[in-house]
Structure 1
Amino acid sequence: MKKTYYQKMAVLGMLLLALTVFQNYTDKSDEKFPELTFISEDLPSESLSEFDPNDLDEAQWQKLGFSEKQTATILKYKKIVGGKFLSKQQFKKCFAVSEEKYAQLENLILLPETNTEAKGSSNFKSFEKKSINVTKKFNPDQLSQIDWEKIGFSERQAAAILKYKNYLGGSFVSKEKFKECFIINDENYQKLEPYLILPAKTPVNFNPYLVKSGSSKNKFQHTNFDPNLLNVEDWIALGFSEKQANVIVNYRDRNLKGSFKTLEDIKNCFVISPEKFEELKPFIRLNPSTMSKKSDDKKPEFKQEKTDFSKTELNSITFKQLLEFGLDEKSAGSMIGFRKKLGGFMTKEQILETYNIDKELVQKLLSIAPLDNSKVERYSLVNAPEEWLKNHPYFKYSADKIIYYRISNPDDKKIWKLLKTKPEYEARMRLYVK
């Protein structure tokens, strides 16, 4: 009897031990695996421009905000796909490129959208890398866009180099600063460095913002000029940035129909500050003959009243009105295009998120013009059309999840919990949710 009793107690003890081990295992299995996130920085807005991912080396990928490990993964993936990215679609599939990071870079990538477009496009050759060719020493501060293209850079790369020079205040300053230009990789810098007529080191007290504020006075040549005969390069020579020069020419050719008629016309141009106007005023010579060449008196012209932007609503403002305000075609087109994709702006801050816009000029517009978002379409997550979710810039990366979750959880609160999006992305999405 005792033997049987002890046997039963031993079996019961083993069962209790097994139950305890199983309980500990199930408790641990409930622990959530730490979420993997990519660490990336914001794009360096001052010197970043459009780029071909096939041209970037390790250092340039890191300047875009990727870590060393992510950069190594991207370069390895490029080798796997044949040593060259054919399309944005192919680049997006790289494991190291998160959806958020791709959304940041998408509009800057110089590649066709899909592999099919890449293979069928006659323009695909334009993305091929050119060789750098330099035979004599030169001062990079004196080179125009055409000069940079002759050296071997593409049109967009040349424009990016000039943009970077303007950011520095109109001069590359030193070889150190020249090397920091995003679009110039280490290989190309090594080819150019022996020919650069620049100091090797940057001055200790160098500040690009101070250089910018004083650069126009240093560059300006005190000679008489006719503003109706000046092109973009001429306005740059007078101390304006490339963007400002383009705005002035567009303002003259489009808004004033080809010519400045009075000093007041020049003064009214947004990018010409009162101080700059007073500096130029003694040297401006308006010639009636240059005005008449650009006007057509054969037919009576209908006088068009100037737009009152304080009464022009930002969700209905037109492309032509944006040009009238002073934006160039690229900025105006980008703003209208982004508004169309969103279905309308809900806040003024969204407009400043638009790629390829003149933020300084747009900020001026936002301070004047009102925004009415009452007509912008908004849906609940449960009722939002699938096509709308997949095409909306703020929802398209979560569209499939939303469509899947709402089948078994037709409740917005539950869907938000299941999505687990970052707070900043959820905040943007909620702008368009009822």
Structure 2
Amino acid sequence: MMRKSYYQKLAFMVTLLTILLAYQKYTSREKEPFPDVKFITSTSNSANLSDFDPNTLDKEQWQKLGFSEKQTATILKYKDIVGGKFMSKEQLKKCYAISDEKFRELESFILLPEITENGKPKGLNAYGKKEITISGKFNPDRLSANGWLKMGFSERQAEAILKYRNYLGGSFISKEKFKECFIISPENYSKLEPYLLLPAKTPETFQNSAKNSMAKTKIQYHSFDPNQLDLEGWKTFGFSEKQAITIINYRDRNLRGSFKSLNDLQKCFVISAEKFQEMKPYIKLQEKQQEKTDFSKTDLNTITFRQLIEFGLDEKSAGSIIGFRKKLGGFINKQQILSTYNIDQDLIQKLISIAPLNSSDVTRYSLVDAPEEWLKNHPYFKYSADKIIFYRISNPDDRKIWKLLKLQPEYEERMRLYVK
């Protein structure tokens, strides 16, 4: 009898629990989110948006658009799934991590084609290239880069078209010449041709003047030493200013001031193989007799980086000495040079035993008069600068300030080197 009662109670409890679980599931169904997608939005965010290609965005850039780290990972994974590139806005929209609301916010800024009813990208031709749109007749001589962009050409194509126009002397001259622009495909030319406000044929006089112009601008080479050539000299050989600067920097920085061989010059990336062969017969590399430095007459406060290299120091050691001397404002004694970091001690010991040191031009101040900036930047004073500035307000006397500073003898000794 007791066993029967026990089973009845157990059955009742199971039934009750089942009912409670079913009720809880039913009442919470509408509240259960799927998927849990939350966007980081800002009312001012859309105002700061600009056109973008979603295929070029990295993780951080997607997050700047307002997506969470998890959403960004989903978008990038989705891009890989569809072949590593979004082909249209519709394809991007299908990514479940981008809500309809968020897509509407971004849609006008997305640099992707839309899909038309026939399933082809809107604004693209059969080859996947952007279609050009022409609003009416126009003179291509008056069109800016922006005008070519609006027509449907890419930024690089627009730049190439303008360069070609400049090459012709600032005008396309005729439809014939316009057609010769390599960046304009035959298909695009056939579309543009009826709208071009240009003569159909190129005048014969233009061809003659072009030949005369080429003859005039033909480079007149002469024997030259590339180690002696300055900016204007390189420009007279047909290099642009930017190219000439690159050649000079390559010579002075990479090669430490001179081309040692023809091979050195040939390696400069702005000089093409064709250009090098053109110049080669005129290149006369003279062996430079470099004057040797007399280190017994070279002041250690004026010795240059190149002279230190000449003495045998490596670039790191030479740079450290020049840098430390600049921070100090000049060396007062030779032992300071030995305290420089990253130097060859033996070689420096040899140098300071030979070279003189003139410290008469080194700037010195009293503690009362020293400029705040000088105190805070000088290697010997910067750690006590704030105290000196504070103490001298009420104690404008060097002797009192020294006492108040309570410095270790070795620190005070080196600071006093730069005090009047």
- TM-score (ref. length: structure 2): 0.33
- TM-score (ref. length: structure 1): 0.32
